[in-house]
Amino acid sequence: NFKANRGRLPFPVERGFISLGYGDQAHPVYKSLMIHNSGVEISTDQGASARAVFGGEVISVMVLSPVNKAVMIQHGDFFTMYHNLSDVSVVKGQKVSRKQNIGTIRTSSETGRTILKFMITQNITYTNPQSWLTPN
């Protein structure tokens, strides 16, 4: 039961921290510009793997660009999304377990930073992932 685990899900990376929170906030570079983040950005180590936060089924593996892939996992009427992957190690229809590696997080060639974009929705409604995760 995904909903019963609110506040108890593991981080989707082994080591890392939330570097950009959920919701409306000032742009990290252009402070006068407001942006809306539908998830959280988690900074981690180069070469780090993204991992499923709960058991479920891979319902989509998306190629967003030649160097950026995303995975969506269904957990009943909840969905977790993992964006900014350079490689994906799961396929559509595959069952995954809690903390299972699903892909390698891409390191930006421009900034040198390794950032996972992580989102949780209930059906089509985005929720703040930070309230679901245990502190890392």
Joined together, the tokens standing for residue 118 give: 């992580």
Cα angle: 60, vertex 37, 40; to 5 degrees: 70
The pLDDT value recorded for residue 27 is: 79
Q: CA 9 to CA 19: how far, in whole Å?
A: 18
User: Over the stretch 40-77, which tens digit does the pLDDT of each residue have?
Assistant: 999 999 999 999 999 999 999 999 988 899 999 999 99
Rg (CA), the chain: 14
Q: CA 56 to CA 43: how far, in whole Å?
A: 24
pLDDT beyond 90 at 29: no
Write phi, then psi, for 131 (nearest 5 degrees): -75, -10
